[in-house]
Each structure stands twice: as structure tokens, then as C-alpha cells.
Structure 1
């Protein structure tokens, strides 16, 4: 669960617009708003401000001088070079722009300074409205280690971990051993699967956090292998007004960046009756041996895979119902042919065997399913010495045929498309997401070496020309989407040439380091 901050304007003052202040100052009109962000975030805020008749001020770094948010704003001011520490994280420069431009308020967007309590304090001191929560709320809930401490003191269950003030490498490593590997290192999302990976991931997480938030305080958590990322959004103002906007599921992510945010989070939250029954009858649960890690620790027992025999029977039922449908289609087609002996006057009768054996392949094994037709799309099917009651149905909805079959509480559903004599079946499949990010380092260049797996910026180079490397040795660190990626050697060799220096931008598949085979 995470806290998101929003902003809104209410009509107030003398025909103007004013924000719900978190301070005790009287509500005053806001005529000009500075957006301390870039890209689509800034554009979204500007569009709303424009509808409200509020002028906007943009800030930008050198690479963003021709960006859309700069063109949309009424005024735009340069902050500095590309690095965020020298531009969008420079709260002092942003406040200087606010004062010189006459902006009465600063909207931080999200990321950058939106969770920086010191910046919120400086805005208050300068008499500029910070569009967001008060600094006290940011300190309490915006800093993960602080919010976890507050939750723990309130007896709210949290994932086991360390969020203390002592931040030495030795203390953090000791806490990781106490928690037990694998562990997650935050801020930044770095996973150390085993002790020998911890120091490298810790250093990477610190660099990411400092670049993104200007704060490299770390917390260590037990790594949850199959998490659900569900957020609950609450808005409030200093008048005591609060609104709860329900939950949203942000579990679909790529490289820790959200791809889909679904609200309400309907999948799995209100349909878990079977799971709750399994959980309630688990011996460890009944014995009271329960913690926040109970579900991940017993995942395979609580979420057993669908038995192969049930999969097979669902396939058999789908095939049987589909064949019956095709017999009906052929009969109708024949009855509409005036030259056919099976026209309406012939009173056709459609026969099929009531008992038959169907061959199937399930998970690489050849199986035979004995099918006994009971009428009304119901069957008794036998496989592997077991007998099951199976039902199937074919429904046409707005021209789309839906074919379903059920065996007990297991249901299979497919869409059927008829294309002449061909039948196409479409179904939803569940592909398990990887437990953790695959190694991006073992990307070999065509001429031997390493290439960039995605567009980004070279952050650090570990090797130099003439240096001997082994498979798995780090060559280059790249920054992309606020995350660090260590590019490693895929095979032993000698560095022939380093093609980029720190700070340079690279495109996807660009060679970074050229390697040659070591001489015998």
C-alpha cells in the first residue's frame, strides 16, 4: 500500500482560484503555478491549470529545452544540465524561479521533489504554496523506513526487515543475514538472492536512490517472490475533508515501472473463497503459526496447480461439445439445400454414439478418455481409473461463440471462430511472471564484447583496454528509467577497447566494450 498525493483547486477569494492549504494561512487566489517536473506529468498539470485560468511556469534541463511541457507553459526557465541532481532536484533553483516569475505555488508532480520534506518546508518559509501534503506527512509516509516504523508501532503487520538509522555497510549486511536471503534493498528495487550479491546490489541501490530522490537511506526487506502491488488512494485537506478513492492494482510492471493500473482491483480480491477455505484449514494456520510471510512460505500448498486429469477432461468436454455443434451446423446447411435428400421433407435424424473413446495428449503424455453422453450437454468421463461428471455448453453472444466446459470447480472457456472448414479456438493463458529480473549483463556483441540492452546513459565503467576479464565480471553500469543495469562479460577475454565514457548516452544494441580472446 502506498501513499499518492493529489492536487485540486477550489473556487475562492474574489472570483479567483485557490488551493486547499495545509498551512494555517488564509486561502488566497493562485494566478500562476510553477510545475517542478517535466514530460507528460507537467503537461497533465498544465492542461488542468489552463482550464482553471491559471498561468503556468515550466522549468527544464538542457536536453528538455524543446520538450512539449516547455512549449505548453506560459513561461519557461532553465535549471541546468541533464543530470537531475543539477536540475530537477535543485530545490533552491526552483524556488528562485518561483520568486522571480511571481508564481504563488509549486506543483512537484510525482518523483523528483514530490516526496522531499525539506523542499516542502522551504516553500512554506518562502511563502510559496507547495501543492501536496505538509512536510510532516511526507516525513511520516513518504520515507519508506519512517512509514514502516510508524506501522510497526501501530501493530500493523509489515514484511520483516530493517529500517533503522544505522546505515553502515556492515550493519546492513548483518541485518540482511538476520532477515534471511533473498532480500529486497530499497529505495530502488534491488534483489540480493545470496550473500555474495549483497554488496554490489547495495551500492547500486544507493546510487539509484541518490539520483532519483537525493536521499540514499536504505531499508532491507525479505523478498516476496509473488507479490501483488495494490494501492489505496486517500486525499485530504487541512479543513478535515477526506475522500477515499478505493484501491487499484499496479501489479503489471516492467523493470519496476508500472504498465497497467487497474481500478477497482477486481482480480483475486473478492473471489478468494476457495483460497480462504484452504488457508483456514492449513495445519500451520490452525496452530497459530502465522506471520506476514505465511502465504509466500506456503504458496505451493495454498495455490496448487490444476490437476492434469482435470485439464484433460476439460479438453475432452470442449472437443465433444464442439463436435456436436458442428454436426448441428452441417445438418442445418444440408436442410437448406433443395437438392439434398436431407431436406425438410426428409425429416433428418442426427445420430452419434453415446459412448466413445477420445485420444488426447496432455503434458506430453498420450491419454485416452472414455466419454459417455448423458444428454443435455452432460457427460461422464473416465481417465486414469477415475470417473468425473463433466458438463459443457456453447453460447452465441453478439455473433461470438463461447465454448465452456466444467469439471467440478475447474472451468475452461474458449472463443470459437469458424472459417470455412477450419475451426479456430482462442483462450486466455496465464504466463507466470519471472520471480526476479533476468540478468541483462550477458548480452554478447556480434564482434565479441557487450552491447546496451536498452537506451540509457553510461554511469560507470569498470574495465580498461588490455584488462583480462572472466565470464560474469562487470564491465559497465547503465542508467535507464531510473534503474541501474550492470552489463557483464558473457565469456572470458581481454578488453580490446572501451567505446563509451560515463555520462554518454547510448542507443539500444550499441556496442559498449569490445573484447577479444585471451592469448594462450
Structure 2
């Protein structure tokens, strides 16, 4: 076994590998960019080296710098994680040339599966079933459109060298094909340095089922059952679970055999995932093979009780697989969700900023949190905005679903937008509960999944009012304690008046909603709407109180003018309404469209002076490795573009001079 390895990645996967290495007594070397100098994986590793500026092309994708760190540190092997260089055959070759073990499959396997077109041809020879499509070398737009017309719509355009949902477009009509192709090629070129695509028949209401495979250098290849990754948005996985709902033993055996046949066809060694698309009839077709560990590998670990990172290390060190096929356990059910810094209500735009408050649910035998960040860390614009993976396990799918909903209700984040409420609605959706999820569920049920819970919770407003009052009293007491007059009546802060107790109205708003209550200060304490309140805790963001027979606990986090209240499994952002605070403010009806985050302008879609309808696409920008389309906020005229195609823009920079119609 190795004594020291280098981890050529960042975020939660780097932290995950470090944890396994620490348990095995292996020292770890981290690499980081200038933007990641204070990151969690850097803090956890035994050694850490900077490999360049924030841009991944100048740091995490610099194979020469990473291998120089391996040489300097004396690392015997490199774990590439997933993403970046994990499926880069050139990097694997460079590792071999430098005498460093690449913890992954042979170069030949990476090369064979690196091109989706070539991989499908290879799978066809191996007898693995394929989706009808075009996987050839000709890439002229007119020819590709003719192939799509031949296959029949809808079709899926997919980057030949792609993965992770990038460089993929579904096309419903022939006349939309070339625009979708151009967008797909731009994204593929930016993400993978290769704009070649393939075309496949897009199956209606399919499921995405993948098989975890493992091979060793002794020639043994096995699978560790399947994962269902059908809950997707824009071809990116949102929820993963194992085993797949409704999977029969016969179908599992057939899919497992096909996956192992695919791995054997390329002489596979190490961890890999063979991905299939399955139709409602039960037929399944090979899509691609990812020659690395997957983001969703924890659900496989939870149902098998195995550490797949440890398996990777042992296989890379030349050891045989720890288990034979018939020894692989399958117990219970596991579900994973990806918690992202993003704003679902704004088209899932990534959110950047500091994690002012980040409190995941407590880890246990049933709840696992894999994360690369902690409270106080920054979510930067340079990398994937994942905050954490939340994984649960229980004895069956129904109980695992309830456990996931409970865990999500306890996950608290303030400082950046997040998708926790969206994930709760998705996992609680009737189709998910029934186990009938297909890849179109999120697109089909988008409105329901994005609709926030109606109403402004009275309990959240009550907690915000009590928190505001107690913090005011605390500040008065601290001020009195700092004065020379220890007996000053101003330090009592009990609301005493000569003739009657103090009463005040407090109003809070959340969006367009508003709620008001009455707060009374008396010698015996506070009252809300005439009901006496007994506060037991009001410090460090935790508020505990009793009102009558009601006992309430809430977490309250102040950020700017807002109070973020977590109570009863809900997160409510409240603003105390002060009628004098914003007097005289006015809002201009016209103006510009601002960049929602730092990025690069990819394409301008209309000419200056164009009259457009509300929702018309105006420009495309690339940020966080994805393309985002900015649309007209109303019917009006695009008077001018304030940034050119190819230009880098900052967060909040005005991009379009827009005049709304009268």
C-alpha cells in the first residue's frame, strides 16, 4: 500500500479521499489554486502546495505543475477525484512517465471510453445494447441535421468528449436543430476542448440507471449493484438512490452483466460507472462509461458497507478486489441529494458569497454529509457551486425518503442562495415517493417544484419579534454595564413605565407578504398579543421560549437588514418594517440588465434597436462552466449592448441598455 498520495482535485471529493487515507495511515498532499488557499481540503491535508491562479486551466488542469508537486513531496500516487484531470489520458500517461501511480484505469481504457462515439462502436462489438443514433466523425451542421431528421425527433445532441450534463441539448423540431447544435458545441469546446458531438434518439420518460463496476489487475471485474439517477435538471443529476426503485433481481443481473462486459471490453481496472438509459418497457441501452469515481458513489457505499476510495487505493497498489461478485452485500436503501449554492427561483443561477451560517444535520449511522466547505468559507465564481452532498440510509425506500426529508428540514444555510427547499419539494413529490421518477420529472413539474410554501409562518414572525426584542435588551444592558453608573435605570431594559407597561407593534415582511403583531414589555417579562412568553435561551442564534403550553425552538441569523429564521423545518427570511428607514426611495422603471455573476459573454442574440417581447433571449453568457441565457424583462427595445461577445464581465455589471414599452 502507498504511504503518501497526492490529491489532484478540490472540494468534497478531496476531503473524502483525505478521510479514507487518514483512516488507512496514508499521508496526503493537497494542491490548490490561489482562490482555494484557505479551503477545507487544504486545512485537512498533511501538506499543501499552490499550483497557480484561480482559473482551473492555470492551476488544477496544469498536469506539469501537479506532477512537479508530486516529485517535490515524494508522493507515490495521484488520486484525480472526479472532474478536472480524472479522465484525461494525457495526464495518466504523464503520471506513468514520471513514475507516479495514477489511481484510475489504464490509459487505454480512458482513451477507449473518452470518445462517446468510439465507445459506442466498441460496445456494439461487445454486444452491449445501444440507443439508435449517429456516432460518426462527420460534423458538418447540415449533415448532422440530416441525421437527426433520419433518427426522428426528439433527439439528444451530446458532446462526444463530454460528461456531467455539459454540452447536451434536447431538440424537439428540425428547425431548432442548428441553433441547439451551435450552443452545444460552444459549451463542449469550453468545457472539454473538443466540440465534436453525437446524436441519439431521445427516449420519452426514460430512467437513468447506472452500474458501479470495479476491476483489478488480476483480471477480475465485478459490479456493486445499480444507482437510479433519473431525477435530473438539464441532464445534471439532482437526486441519486440505490438500489433503483422497482428493480428485479433478473434485470439487475442483466444490467450488471452488460456493465461488466463493457468494462472487460476495454481491459478495465479500478472504479468506473457504466450508464444506461432505460425505457418504461424495461429495455436498457448503453449511454457512456465514466472512467472515474462518480459524485454519487456514497449511495453505493451505504448499501454495500464498502469504502470505494479504499478499493481504488488497494487496486492501484496491485491488490485484488476485496470481494467476489457473490459476496457483494445489498442492504437497505440510500438516497443522496446535491446541495448547491444556487437560486432555483431565478433559473438555478449559481449564487456566490460567504457561508455566513452553515449548519448541516448531525451525522450518524443513517445520515452522512460529504462537503468541501464549512461555515465562514466562500463560494467562489471559479468552480462548481456545490456546498455538500447529503446522504441518508434506512432499511427500505419509504423510510429513507422520510429520513431525507427530515435531514433537509434541519439543514440551515445563510449567506448564499441554495436549493434546499427545492430538494425537499422534489423528494416529497408524489412521483418520487412512488418510485416512478423519470428524467423529465423536474422539467415537467417545474412550476410545482419551484413554488414556495404559501403564507408567512406566524411562528417565524413571533420568533423574529422576540429575537429582536431580546437583542435590543441585551445591547442596552451591555451599554449600561460599560457606563460608570451601575444603577442606571436605562440598564434595566424591562419596559417599565410610570402609568402602564410599554406596548409596541412590530411588522415583518417576506417578499410581498406582511404580518404584524403586538409586543408588550412588563415587569414579569414579554408578552406577544397578550400571551405571556417565558424565554429560556436567546444567545448565539438559538432562541427557546414557551408561550402558554407551546414550547418553541428557532435559530435566528441576522444578515444585513434581514433576520433568517429556521423554525419547524422552514427557512423564512424576514425584514423588520421601519416606516422611516427607506423614505423617499424611488425606483426607475427602465434601465439595464445586469450580469447575475462573473462570467464571459458568449453570444449576442439580437441587434441593437430590436423590439422584443417579454422573455425573448437577448444574450448568452458562460459562468461556472455552464451557459446562461438572459432574457428581456418586459416588452421593449434593446437600445444597446454594453459588453461584446468574448468579453469578461463582473458580477452586477450592466450588460444591456433596455427601454420598456410604454
On whether the aligned pair clears a TM of 0.5, the verdict is yes
- Counterpart residue number, 1:164: 136
Contact 1:475 1:486 in 2 (8 A): yes
How far residue 40 of structure 1 moved from its aligned partner, in angstroms, is 0.5
Q: Cα distance, 1:117 vs. partner? A: 1.6
Paired residues for 1:13-92 under 5 Å: 17=1, 30-92=2-64
Question: Does 2:205 correspond to 1:232?
Answer: no
**1:272-310 deviations in Å (ceiling 9; x for gaps):** 9xxxxxxxxxxxxxxxxxxx99957999xxxxxxxxxxx
Alignment pair present for 1:479 and 2:622: yes
Deviation at 1:247, TM superposition (A): 0.6
After superposition, the C-alpha distances for 1:447-472 in whole angstroms (9 at most, x for unaligned) are: 465466x7563442527995435346
Which of 599, 610, 615 is the equivalent residue of 1:468?
610
Does residue 111 of structure 2 align to residue 111 of structure 1? no
Q: 1:258, CA displacement in angstroms?
A: 2.0
Q: TM-score, normalised by structure 2?
A: 0.45
Going from structure 1 to structure 2, the CA distance change for 1:481 and 1:260 (only over 3 Å counts) comes to: farther
Cα contact 1:85–1:211 (8 A) shared by 2: no
Asked whether the 8 Å contact 1:95–1:123 carries over to 2, the reply is yes
Is the alpha carbon distance of 1:253 and 1:298 closer, same or farther for their aligned partners in structure 2, counting shifts above 3 Å? closer
SS across alignment from 1:159: coil
Q: 1 CA distance for matches of 2:442 and 2:100?
A: 46
Aligned with 2:199 (options 207, 220, 231): 220
SS in 1 for 2:144: helix
Check conservation: 2:208, 2:278, Cα contact below 8 A: no
The separation in 1 between residues aligned to 2:38 and 2:158, in whole angstroms, is: 34
Q: By how many angstroms is 1:89 displaced?
A: 2.3
- Partners of 1:116 and 1:464 in 2: CA distance: 38
Q: Equivalents in 2 of 1:294, 1:43: separation in Å?
A: 33
SS in 1 for 2:430: coil
Structure 2 spans left out of the alignment, 5+ residues: 160-166, 252-275, 284-427, 433-439, 448-587
- 1:401-448 deviations in Å (ceiling 9; x for gaps): xxxxxxxxxxxxxxxxxxxxxxxxxx9723872557989xxxxx9746
In the other structure, the counterpart of 2:441 is 433
Task: Return the alpha-carbon distance in structure 2 between the equivalents of residues 448 and 223 of structure 1.
Answer: 41
Aligned mates of 1:438, 1:179 — CA distance in 2: 28
- The superposition leaves residues 150-208 of structure 1 with CA deviations (integer Å, 9 ceiling, x where unpaired) of 12223432111111122333332332222222221112221222233323322322233
TM-score (normalised: structure 1):
0.56
> Residues 136 and 497 of structure 1: is their aligned pair in 2 closer, same or farther, counting only changes over 3 Å?
closer
Check the 8 A contact 2:203/2:279 in 1, yes or no: no
Structure 1 SS opposite 2:648: coil
2:549 corresponds in structure 1 to: none
* Aligned with 1:201 (options 158, 180, 198): 180
Per the TM alignment, residue 43 of structure 1 is displaced from its structure 2 partner at its CA by: 0.8
Distance 1:163 1:117 in 2: 21
Choose which of 630, 640, 651 in structure 2 pairs with 1:506. 651
- Tell me the alpha carbon deviations over residues 187-239 of structure 1, each in whole angstroms, 9 at most, x when there is no partner: 22212222333233223222333333333331111122312111111111112
How far apart are the structure 2 equivalents of 1:231 and 1:243?
14
Map residues 385-464 of structure 1 onto 2, 5 A cutoff. Answer: 429-430=430-431, 433-434=441-442, 447=590, 450=593, 457-462=599-604
8 Å contact from structure 2 (residues 231, 441) kept in 1: no
Q: Tell me how far apart the structure 2 counterparts of residues 270 and 456 of structure 1 sit (CA, whole Å).
A: 49
Query: Match for residue 495 of structure 1?
Result: 639
Higher relative contact order (CA 8 A, sep 6+): 2
Q: In structure 2, do the counterparts of structure 1 residues 234 and 162 end up closer, same or farther at CA, with 3 Å as the change threshold? A: same
Structure 1: gaps spanning 5 or more residues: 1-16, 18-29, 273-291, 300-426, 440-444
3-state SS, counterpart of residue 430 of structure 1: helix
Give 1:505 shift.
Answer: 5.1
Q: Which has the larger radius of gyration?
A: 1
Secondary structure (helix, strand or coil) at the match of 1:146 reads helix
Give CA-to-partner distance per residue, 1:331-357, whole Å, 9 cap, x none.
Answer: xxxxxxxxxxxxxxxxxxxxxxxxxxx
Q: Distance in 2 between matches of 1:112 and 1:437?
A: 33
- Match of 1:229, SS? strand
Partner of 1:50: helix, strand, or coil?
Answer: helix
How far off its partner does 1:129 sit? 0.6
Contact map agreement 2:594 2:654 (CA 8 A) in 1? yes
- 1:108: Cα distance to partner? 0.9
| C-alpha distance in structure 1 between counterparts of 2:178 and 2:143, whole Å | 12
Q: Distance in 2 between matches of 1:45 and 1:81?
A: 23
Q: Residue deviations 1:89-145, cap 9 Å, x none? A: 222332232223322211111122111122212211221111000011112234322
Q: Counterpart of 1:219 in 2: which secondary structure? A: strand
